[in-house]
Amino acid sequence: MFESTVFDDHPPARFIWEIENCSGFKDKCFYTDSVIAGGYKWRVLIYPNGNNVEDRLSMYLHSDDSRTLPHGCSICAKCSLSVVNQMHHSLNVRKDTQHLFEFTSRTNDWGFKSFMPLSELYDEGKGYNVNDTCIIEAVITVRRSTVDYLSLCSRKETGYVGLKNQGATHYLNSFLQTLYHIPYLKKAVYLFPTTGNDMPSGSIPLELQSLFYNLQFSGTSVATEELTKSFGLDMYESFKKHDVQEFSRVLTEKLEEKYKGSVVEGVIKQLFEGHNMKYVECVNVHYISIRKQTFSCLQLDVKGCRSVYASFDKYTEVERLEGASRYRAGPHGLQDAEKRLMFIDFPPVLQLQLKRFEYDPIQDTMVKINNRYQFPLRLDLDREDGKYLSPLADRRFRNLYTLHSVLVHSGGAHDGHYYAYIRPTLSDQWFKFDDERVTREEDMKSVLSELYGGKKLHEANLGVNSTPSDYTKNSNACMLVYIRESENARILCKVNEMDMAEHLRIRLKKEEAHLYTNIKVACDRDLHKQIGKDVYFDLVDLDKVCCFRMQNHTSFAVFQEEVAKELGVPVQYQRFWRWEKRSNQSYRPVRPLTPQEKALPVGYIRKFSDMVKNAELHLFLEVEVGWDLQPMPLPEKTEEEIMLFFIFYDREKEELRYVGRLFVKGTGKPIDILSKLKQLAGIEQGEEIELVEEICFTPNLECVHIDEMLTFKENEMGTLFALRRLLMLKILRHRYPDVLSFLKYVHNRQ
């Protein structure tokens, strides 16, 4: 139900392009004609001779409209791209995106670098290029909203947030999530002795501290750009393909290097480093060679193995060194020998890289191994009397492990997507971390079974023209993380803000502040309460009105619901106005928010407003109330109408008070509303009043008389003071007979 009610997509749209004179495009890239899907323009970008990849066609979906989006906004879409086989449609080459892509002002192409071999594309006998013409098909599905709903609801629904995809960094996101959910490592990251003077840019420890802090406390998905820059992967390189093992090695090596000489030196080794030994024994002479080795991530064969245990059996099996492979045994020369690897110890956190990819010399390319491969929830590496252990192993340690996380690769060898399943507390509750989106998994038993790989169920339903890949599950585990059961309590320790240095908490809280917008909402009751008591100049002190602290990505509709709860004004009776500073330095609500503005997250409304403070958005809430003082429907407002605020000066009492506001047409005249103003001020209709406008109050006070016979537009009116003119001679005895003299008195007193 959650999917259908929140994540609403436009219906898929299908498009076909005929590409003529294909042979003439071999040395350059080109775009197809534009089409409309989900209200946006799209094209297909084609590299007929490959995009920095030899002998392969490259093809991408391109968004024309994303270039004009405000920074941070995105168009979310998924697609399938096909090269049509004009002889047999069952042989179409089709590739699907496995998840939603975000098209932004900086990233407007998504697709496949290695779509199909050029040898097949340009071989007219294959059916993809007929009469020098190819046919390209695209099916595009666009998400209805550009707001990042995925990250907004993750924290609320699961207690966790995701990581933003920089382009092709889903492998990085998956691995970082597994590291973050090892609390002992997180505490070590927080304890690294950075100082308040350290520059975040280029500092791996600082950027990792910031990333982990945001994952722990942020309300929305977290970016990784600064971290990747800090250890050498810039924004452009991040789009290149890196695998999990490579990133794991780079990150752990750089952390070890940075941590040397600090209080957390050696933590990475303590958690992830194990030791094995290469044992070689000659058959015909007495010669033994033992060489110790360290490892932080074991690579296990998938091909030819049906399970993790089978991979360990193969890893430690005896290998005969004979013939051309004989072993050089020092003074004994070349000798027949037996070689095997045995483990001295295993680390508390055991990372197992499953070798799902290998080079195929026949196809001359990398291929993915999708064979069925099982892994247990509990891994016993002391099985069969410690068959994997060397004579040097300390048998007092119990090598019994619990599965903590599974990294998954979906797709083929040249393209695909990474995500992770993690159970942070080793309870029965698993979570799926897929870039920005985090979801609960209720039936993990079925999920794990699917991640084994192998053949799909119900193969008979796939059809006679199906290819071998149609029968194979291409979403399967590529990395496993286990935690030693005897060390669960130590590794899964509690981590809170007090584990950070004070300067770090201060800096990260300042960074976190940029993720939120303070929305200050003034309404009539604030003007009634403040004018004449706290405020004499201008309309209101915005530091004393209701303030809402909202995440930048919060939709305006969600903010309106919060206003309804706090102020008791139903959403349908709310109209919000933007405040702007005028040329005379006065600050006024000038116009209602437009529908386009209300469709943006609150952070973007604030970003494009005339702000007094960078983190604040100032709004005036217009509410109409009936005789029972309950909110009622708002009147229609035309563009030519002006909203005027009225303040009454009672010179007998020497006080100001707010009496209300009115909508007037610019072509109307003040004389037309005098009767209404007297009613608002509560004075007799027979008494005379004069209208005065406050022009400015700094550096000098200035008020001007309003000509009742000129139009409002000609008077250029804003905030008005209505002064009751008492038709009595004692008027001369008032200390402050007009508004300006009273305001000067207040100004001097203050």
- On the question of pLDDT at 648 being above 50, the answer is yes
**Range from 564-568, 582-586, 694-698 carrying the lowest mean pLDDT:** 582-586
- On the question of pLDDT at 324 being above 80, the answer is yes
**Range from 367-371, 472-476, 510-514, 674-678 carrying the lowest mean pLDDT:** 510-514
Could you tell me which residues come within 8 angstroms of residue 742 by beta carbon, excluding any fewer than 6 positions away?
A: 649, 651, 654, 656, 736
- On the question of pLDDT at 377 being above 70, the answer is yes
pLDDT of 322 reads: 93
On whether the CB atoms of residues 60 and 111 are closer than 8 A, the answer is: yes
Angle made by CA atoms 546, 550, 551, in degrees to the nearest 5: 165
- The domain over range 149-269 is classified in CATH as 3.40.50.12170: no
11-31 pLDDT, tens digit per residue, is 888 899 988 887 777 667 788
From residue 336, give the alpha-carbon distance in Å to each of 278, 279, 289, 330, 341: 16, 14, 13, 13, 17
For residues 577 and 637, what is the distance between their CA atoms, to the nearest angstrom?
12
On whether the CB atoms of residues 288 and 280 are closer than 8 A, the answer is: yes
Could you tell me which residues come within 8 angstroms of residue 554 by beta carbon, excluding any fewer than 6 positions away?
A: 152, 517, 601, 602, 603
3-state class (DSSP) for residue 559: helix
pLDDT (mean) for 413-431: 89
Domain ranges of the chain: 2-142, 149-269, 514-632, 641-749
Half-sphere exposure of 287 (CA within 13 A, CB side): 17
Q: What are phi and psi of 268, to 5 degrees?
A: -60, -45
Q: Which residues are registered as beta bridge partners of 661? A: 645
User: Given this chain, do its domains 514-632 and 641-749 carry the same CATH topology?
Assistant: yes
On whether the CB atoms of residues 69 and 122 are closer than 8 A, the answer is: no
- On the question of pLDDT at 239 being above 50, the answer is no
- The domain over range 641-749 is classified in CATH as 3.40.30.10: no
- On the question of pLDDT at 160 being above 70, the answer is yes
Task: For residue 35, give both structure tokens.
Answer: 């089409």
- On the question of pLDDT at 99 being above 90, the answer is no
pLDDT (mean) for 650-667: 84
pLDDT (mean) for 185-190: 89
- On the question of pLDDT at 684 being above 80, the answer is yes
Of 93, 37, 27, the C-alpha closest to 61 is: 37
- In 289-400, where does DSSP find H-type helix? 308-316, 383-386
pLDDT (mean) for 418-446: 90
| Top-ranked range on mean pLDDT: pick from 50-59, 367-376, 495-504, 548-557 | 367-376
Structure confidence at residue 635 as a pLDDT band (50, 70, 90): confident
pLDDT of 147 reads: 43
pLDDT (mean) for 254-258: 79
pLDDT (mean) for 384-391: 93
pLDDT (mean) for 157-183: 84
For residues 245 and 173, what is the distance between their CA atoms, to the nearest angstrom?
13
For residues 743 and 78, what is the distance between their CA atoms, to the nearest angstrom?
63
Higher-scoring residue by pLDDT: 180, 714: 180
133-152 pLDDT, tens digit per residue, is 899 999 998 875 444 444 44
Helical (H) or strand (E) element with 664 = strand 655-665
pLDDT (mean) for 677-702: 80
- On the question of pLDDT at 62 being above 80, the answer is yes
pLDDT of 202 reads: 62
- The domain over range 2-142 is classified in CATH as 2.60.210.10: yes
On whether the CB atoms of residues 747 and 697 are closer than 8 A, the answer is: yes
For residues 265 and 48, what is the distance between their CA atoms, to the nearest angstrom?
51
- On the question of pLDDT at 625 being above 90, the answer is no
How many other CB atoms are found less than 10 A from the CB of residue 390?
19
Query: What are the E-state strand segments in 572-639?
Result: 575-581, 587-592, 616-622, 624-625, 631-632
pLDDT (mean) for 410-436: 88
pLDDT of 736 reads: 65
Q: Which CATH code of 3.40.50.300, 3.40.50.2300, 2.40.70.10, 3.10.20.90 fits the domain covering 514-632? A: 3.10.20.90
pLDDT of 425 reads: 93
pLDDT of 233 reads: 54
For residues 271 and 127, what is the distance between their CA atoms, to the nearest angstrom?
55
Structure confidence at residue 743 as a pLDDT band (50, 70, 90): confident
Of 484, 545, 479, the C-alpha closest to 345 is: 484
Query: What are the E-state strand segments in 238-295?
Result: 274-282, 288-295
- On the question of pLDDT at 682 being above 70, the answer is yes
Task: For residue 234, give both structure tokens.
Answer: 């810039």
- On the question of pLDDT at 243 being above 80, the answer is no
Buried b (16+ CB within 10 A) or exposed e, 585-602: ebbbbbebbeeeebbbbb
Q: Which residues are registered as beta bridge partners of 380? A: 400
- On the question of pLDDT at 537 being above 90, the answer is no
Task: For residue 606, give both structure tokens.
Answer: 């604030």
- Residue whose structure tokens are 């070798």: 355
From residue 293, give the alpha-carbon distance in Å to each of 209, 316, 695: 31, 14, 81
Structure confidence at residue 456 as a pLDDT band (50, 70, 90): low
Structure confidence at residue 732 as a pLDDT band (50, 70, 90): very low
Q: Percent of the chain having pLDDT more than 70?
A: 83
Task: For residue 396, give both structure tokens.
Answer: 């007092």
Query: In whole numbers, what is the pLDDT of the chain averaged over residues?
Result: 81
- Residue whose structure tokens are 């303590």: 270
Helical (H) or strand (E) element with 719 = strand 719-725
- On the question of pLDDT at 335 being above 80, the answer is yes
For residues 183 and 492, what is the distance between their CA atoms, to the nearest angstrom?
5
For residues 425 and 405, what is the distance between their CA atoms, to the nearest angstrom?
11
- On the question of pLDDT at 585 being above 80, the answer is no
- On the question of pLDDT at 496 being above 60, the answer is yes
**Range from 41-45, 127-131, 187-191, 229-233 carrying the lowest mean pLDDT:** 229-233
Task: For residue 394, give both structure tokens.
Answer: 């300390």
